[in-house]
Structure 1
Amino acid sequence: MSQLNIQQASSAAPVQESGQSPYLLLFIILVLAAVATWLIPAGVFDFVTRDGIKFAVKDSLHAVPQSGVYPLEIFTAIAKGMVKSAPIIFLILFTGGVLAVVEETGAIATALNSLSRSTRLSDTRMVLIFGTIFALLGTTGVVVNAVVAFVPIGLLVARSMGLPPILGASLVYLTCAAGFNVAILNPATTGLTQHLAQLPLFSGMLLRGITCLLFVVSAIAYLIWSIRRARQDGYLRPKQAQGAEQTAKVTGRHKLILSTVGLSLLLFISGAVKFHWGTSEMSAMFILLSIAVGLMGRMSGSDIANTFLSGCSKLVKGGFIVGMAASISLVLQQGNVLDPIVGFLSDLLAPIPPTAAAIGMFISAALMHFGISSGSGESALLIPIFSPLGDNLGLTRQVMVQTVLLGEGIVNCMSPTSGVLMAVLATANVSFGKWLRFVAPVIAVWFVICVVMLLIGVAINWGPF
């Protein structure tokens, strides 16, 4: 296995499509939302604008004439949802495009293959290196669904180290998930959620970065402990085999490509902080990065364009889920029943302190994720409700965003509706029950981290807004 690319990741796509389609679930919710516009008394909040952001005024909900949504308007709402979500949908598509170009150069696969063949690294160093690499790839959104394509490398490492396949899969998937679950620079999760909450793109990075670090450190520590326990159970590292399989070497061109990608991400962070860059600037950066990386990889202009479009096509379904979910909030807003729903939830949670409300929203998002496996789709569904709800409960928008992100993230590694997880387990030939028993301790640690960091966010009035 000398080369991996994004086309290999697509071979797992049929596995990801198994089970209930998220589109069907969202459409059912959309129909129920339309029915609700005829049953729930209509009402609206008064809003005030601060720093260009609209905030619901507490206790200002008042009745307005009923405006139920007709059946045909359900379908126009889908189109309007796509149009409204166009900036973030195209950002998601362009993310797939630039990743496809980077993958096509072979830089990432070659570097990981070279590392996997090393026989000079100890167990701990190997976990630290793999954990760091895949956590970075996960938290930046570079490798998400495509993580399935890299699982064979983890299995190869486990075999060369004399370890069971479940640890090989975890070297790649669990560490990637640790980064992705608290995505610092992922436009499809954090970027989308903050955009919907009207927050500056990738704001609040310090506390979110600390949370991500705790996730990654706990995952790495758990893997190191698991490997040591496996050694005690008789899994010994075999001697180096004669005539080891050769693999492609990392060239200067590969190093230049990886350095360019890393510097581009750092440049965007700087621009987002200093110049308030948003989705348009990030989309433009992805296009420029695709061209630059493609030229560095000696790809022709046609190859760059075709590879970019091919990568975009693989995320069309994910992008459209965002628009589909947005149509639900549009229907509720059109029928003037979204605010009454928020008002009901606010009254229900009013006796609860803000800290308990934040934990409740986090658990609600986690439970919701078992049904809607798309994080972007769930964000588009929940944020229109959670934003004014958080305003009424005294929670900042940043805390509210984090409740959704953490709720989605902690479920990814244990949800039977996750196509990525199912594909990983199928590749490693590990049963779902065995995986749950293995991952339960680290999930428990992550849950505690989530609760503690949310409590800190509430205590410090984590902003902006």
Structure 2
Amino acid sequence: MAKRKIQSNDKGFKKRYWAVPDAFIIIFGISVLAAIATYIIPAGMYEREEVGDITQAVPGSFRFVDSSPASLMDLFLAIQQGMIESGNIIFLIFMIGGTVAILESTGAIDAGINTLIRKTRGNKTLLIAVVSAIFGIICTVGVASNAVIAFIPIGIGLARAMKLDAIAGVAIVYLGYYVGNTAGVLEPTILGIAQTIAELPLFSGLLLRLAVFIALLAVTIIYVCRYVNKISRDPSQSLMADNPFMDNPSAEVNGEHSNDTFTKKHIVIILIFFSFIGIFLYGALNLGWSIDELSAIFIMMGVTVAIVDKITPNEFMRRFMNGARSITYGALVVGIARAVIVVMEDGRILDTIVHGALIPLESLPVILGAQALYLFNLLFNLLVTSGSGQASIVMPLMVPLVDMLDITRQTGVLALKLGDGITNIITPTSGVLMAVLAIGKVSWTKWVRFVFPLVLWWTAVGAVFMGIAVMINYGPF
């Protein structure tokens, strides 16, 4: 529970100060609210139909069904069910944590990043811009958003070498990556589902989405660089000033070596890391690989690095378990975050929320209607963070609605993409975000303090482009 601090003033009265609640408490509180909502919001459902490989809601098929409110037992069972449904992400976090501990213990990551910094003469702005842009491009051309979890150690290593904090390390990689996810210039999954349902050519409307990508990337780089410059001038301004990387005392696990010379063995280990990541990216793009395969890739990576560095099996397991143990907190947060969705799905209120929110939009003017659709998707994504899930639920209902409002279907797709991407960087119900924060050892509450102003900037940029889409009658091509 949150710790209470008591302080006496000159008059002898006691002032009470309450710390920010722990992430577990906040998320469980959201689950309680969701459970209460199942008693207030009527249960309802849309019929679903299979269209090709897509299971989508049928417009006009909404009906109220028997209420299924969450009992006290249901509320706590949802935690168990959330852990089960998030099991692949939870185990991925443990696998990455253990493998990264092996990598860091070799000194290769620190030595390689220190060499990179020396080569760029310590230009932090250049490094941040280049790294963020690279990961943004990787995501926006189709590499699944959950793959960003694998790259977080790079950002953490970069931030450590530049004497920043873990928040900066996560932001450099994760925010750049999610710019690509939000714009979705050539992203075939969420964009593909949305455009298929809207009967639009795949990847059509590319130029405006490219402009969205450039605008969001510029805003993000400026925002992150301002934070980096601030904490570089005064480390006490860091949101993690008390412990910038949540380090364990063991320097061996964290890879803190006094000799950062980049040796031939370090080069081989770095090549092993990128080779295995390359294998996963190939599998993700061509073989449908996802989180399960990424876990396997990291285990194989760790074993290969141990062989190269001549780490004994017992020593391998000791280092691996130390790394996995250090991120247990973050791994379990992912499961309890999923519990919120479990409560709402079992209570059958998600479809009712969609139906109740979209129907009133039918009478709005064009500009207001487009912005309202955008706002709805922003807020709905706080509940359903799966982009493909959101597209299959919302897009079939939006198509007749945008036709009625005289808004182009491409504008409707843009509203869904922007809404799906922006709030993913803050919502605790996002398994990917919570996994990223677990790997980076950043608490969700501190992350929210850092990223919330950027969410507002992204939201404003999205609103501008929604307005542009309406004015130019944003069409198929």
Corresponding residue for 1:305? 317
Give a deviation string over 1:227-270, Cα, whole Å, max 9, x none: 99xxxxxxxxxxxxxxxxx9521111111222222222222222
Paired residue for 1:392? Answer: 397
Contact (CA 8 Å) 1:326, 1:381: kept in 2 or not? no
CA contact (8 A) 1:33 1:331 kept: yes
Cα distance in structure 1, aligned partners of 2:38 and 2:180: 35
Structure 1 stretch displaced more, 314-323 or 333-342: 314-323
Partners of 1:215 and 1:251 in 2: CA distance: 38
In structure 2, the residue matched to 1:50 is: 51
Name whichever of 130-139 and 22-31 sits farther off: 130-139
Instruction: Please name the residue that 2:62 is paired with.
Output: 61
Q: Secondary structure at the match of 1:182?
A: helix
Q: Judge conservation of contact 1:391–1:397 (CA < 8 Å) in 2.
A: no
- Cα separation, 1, equivalents of 2:291 and 2:313: 25
Are positions 1:27 and 2:35 aligned together? no
C-alpha distance in structure 2 between counterparts of 1:214 and 1:77, whole Å? 40
1:75 Cα offset (Å): 1.1
Contact 1:130/1:171, CA 8 A, preserved across alignment = no
Tell me if structure 2 keeps the 8 A contact 1:66–1:335: yes
- Correspondence for 2:266: 254
Question: Take 1:330 and 1:223, find their aligned partners in 2: how far apart are those partners?
Answer: 34
Separation in 2, partners of 1:420, 1:85: 19
* Counterpart amino acid of residue 98 in structure 2: G
Q: Distance in 2 between matches of 1:87 and 1:173?
A: 21
Within the candidate set 176, 179, 193, 1:179 is matched to: 176
Distance in 2 (CA, whole Å) between partners of 1:92 and 1:350 is 44
| 8 Å Cα contact 1:40/1:337 also seen in 2 | yes
Separation in 2, partners of 1:410, 1:29: 14
Structure 1 partner of 2:355: 343
Helix, strand or coil for the counterpart of 1:111? helix
For residue 406 of structure 1, the aligned residue among 417, 422, 425 is: 422
The corresponding residue for 1:41 is: 42
In structure 2, give the amino acid aligned to 1:302: N
**2:356 partner SS:** helix
Q: TM-score, normalised by structure 2?
A: 0.61
Instruction: Output aligned runs, 1:41-440, within 5 Å.
Output: 41-116=42-117, 118=118, 127-129=125-127, 131-133=129-131, 140-142=148-150, 144=152, 151=159, 153-155=161-163, 175-176=172-173, 178-182=175-179, 247-351=259-363, 355-357=370-372, 359-361=374-376, 363-364=378-379, 388-394=393-399, 400=416, 403-409=419-425
Q: Which amino acid aligns with 1:270?
A: Y
Distance 1:83 1:293, change over 3 A: same
Contact conserved, 1:342 with 1:385, CA < 8 A, in 2? no
Residues 317 and 210 (structure 1 numbering): CA distance in 2 closer, same or farther, change over 3 Å? farther
| Change in CA separation of 1:108 and 1:217 when aligned onto 2, cut-off 3 Å | farther
The answer as to whether partners of 1:387 and 1:400 remain within 8 angstroms in 2 is no
* Corresponding letter in the other structure for 1:182: V
CA distance in 2, matches of 1:319, 1:209: 34
Q: Structure 1 pair 423/410, CA: closer, same or farther in 2 (3 Å)?
A: closer
Identical pairs, percent: 22
The root-mean-square deviation of aligned C-alpha atoms, in Å, is: 5.0
1:79 Cα deviation from its structure 2 partner:
1.0
Q: Alpha-carbon deviation of 1:329?
A: 2.4
Is 1:42–1:336's contact at 8 Å kept on the other side of the alignment? yes
> How far off its partner does 1:82 sit?
1.4
Say which SS state the counterpart of residue 50 (structure 2) adopts: strand
How far 1:295 moved relative to its partner?
Answer: 2.1
C-alpha distance in structure 2 between counterparts of 1:460 and 1:89, whole Å? 41
1:141 match: secondary structure: helix
Q: Show the counterpart of 1:10.
A: none
Give me the whole-angstrom Cα distance separating, in 2, the residues matched to 1:38 and 1:55: 26
- Letter of the structure 2 residue corresponding to residue 265 of structure 1: I
Deviation at residue 327 of structure 1 after TM alignment: 2.2
Structure 2 gaps, min length 5: 1-18, 140-147, 182-186, 197-201, 230-257, 400-408, 429-440
Partner residue, 2:438 = none
In the superposition, the TM-score normalised over structure 1's length comes to 0.63
- Name the aligned partner's letter for residue 389 of structure 1: V
The answer to whether the 8 Å contact 1:329/1:384 transfers is no
CA contact (8 A) 1:101 1:290 kept: yes
Conserved 8 A contact 1:56-1:392: yes
How far apart, in 2, do the equivalents of 1:319 and 1:452 lie? 37
Check the 8 A contact 1:97/1:310 in 2, yes or no. Answer: yes
Gaps of 5+ in 1: 1-17, 157-167, 185-189, 229-245, 369-377, 413-417, 425-431
Kindly indicate whether the alpha-carbon contact (under 8 Å) linking 2:35 and 2:344 is maintained by their aligned counterparts in 1.
Answer: yes
1:373 corresponding residue in structure 2: none
Deviations 1:1-58 (A, max 9, x none): xxxxxxxxxxxxxxxxx72222222222222222222232222211112334321112
